[in-house]
Amino acid sequence: MADERDGRTEPDELGAAPTVEFRRETRAERAERLRAEREARAAQAAASGAVSTVGGRAPSQEWDGVEYVFEPRRSREMHLREFPSELLGYARDIWQRREFVKELARADIRRRHANTALGALWSILEPMFQVAIYFMLFTIIRRGSRPIEFLPVLVWGIFCFQLVTSSLNEGGQSIQRSQNLMLNSTFPRALLPVATVYKGFLRFIPTIGVMVVVHVLVGAPVHLGLLLMPPLFAMQLVLSVGLALLMSTITIYFRDVQNAMSYITRILFFTTPIIFPLRLIPDGLEAVLRWQPLFGLFASYQQIVGGDLPSPDYVVLAGVWAAVMLVGGAFFFMRHERDFANLL
């Protein structure tokens, strides 16, 4: 079966090389090509006394179908005016393969926790250990002046930041780790970093219950502003997809970026309002931190958990960064996707 997309006809089967483009060859074109090949091989055979065949078969063998000719793909220039339509078509292809994304993410989670006694509980225990360490550390540094009311802010911030870490680390390695799958099947390559974001989302779901329990036990305010958490989290998912697409592309070209990823995540963590209250940030420093992609989003989280409505400028900033990262990451990924197999 063939799948026509973007003016090309591609065989819809596993095993089709993902690094080639396809074009149909008519009978007349094939006959002309074979004739030229036979003449060239006949000349060589006359000189060497060898018997030649074309394509591994005798020239006289009958051919009665369409033959695909595989040619190397090359990275192409994508003009900005073409990008919206290209992106919509690409997103449609990914949506049609959403079951593949889900199963890929679930299979990786099962494999990761197959040999551990606590299994999926580690998705909760790891960030809880971080919460306990940072809360104790800063309580000691501030000589006991860290109020217990800040604990829900710390819990929400660290648990939500785990999704960002997953998008950067696992999303950045998604193409390299799936090298065999890439070279032996044809599908939109963005499925791989998108699957890592979905996997992070699956690991995040059980932590929601923990955050709610901590919020209630500490007596944190329950107000209408909490209804804004789902839209803000949707912005975070969009931003995470953009980060995963961007980092997976950069890592293919610059392998050393993966070695520096731990430092990048630490810088993002300590410049994001997670372990410190917004009111302690000097105005001049806040003007600089606003350029950090996560600042507006996590500042909104902190204000909501603390009992206030988020500042409109923080919400707008979060939305702008989510859109910029998604569009920029998708453009960069789609523009260089054809080179991945040659660079692996």
DSSP annotation of 52 reads -
CA distance 134 to 131: 5
The amino acid present at 26, given as its one-letter code, is: T
Interatomic CA distance for residues 39 and 317, integer angstroms: 67
Residue-level pLDDT at 72: 44
- Give the start-to-end residue ranges of the domains of the chain: 20-72, 83-343
pLDDT for position 243: 93
CA–CA distance from 56 to each of 35, 52, 61 (Å)?
15, 9, 11
**Burial group, residue 41, by CB count within 10 angstroms (0-12, 13-18, 19+):** middle
State the amino acid at position 28 in one-letter form: A
Q: Helix, strand or coil for residue 203?
A: helix
- What is the number of other CB atoms lying within 10 angstroms of the CB of residue 80? 7
Residue 114: its pLDDT value, please? 59
Pick from 219, 232, 234, 213: nearest CA to 307: 219
Q: Could you say which residues of the chain have pLDDT below 70?
A: 1-25, 45-80, 113-120, 122, 139-147, 341, 344
Q: What is the pLDDT of residue 20?
A: 44
The residues, any chain, with a CB within 8 Å of residue 268's CB and separated by 6 or more, are: 164, 168, 292, 294
Query: Quick one: pLDDT at residue 180?
Result: 75
**Given this model, what pLDDT does residue 16 score?**
39
Per the DSSP assignment, residues forming a β-bridge with 72 are 20
For residue 244, the model assigns a pLDDT of: 92
Beta bridge mates, 5: 8
DSSP state for residue 7 in the 8-state scheme? T
Torsion of CA 318, 257, 180, 12, to 10 degrees: 40
Amino acid at position 17, single letter: A
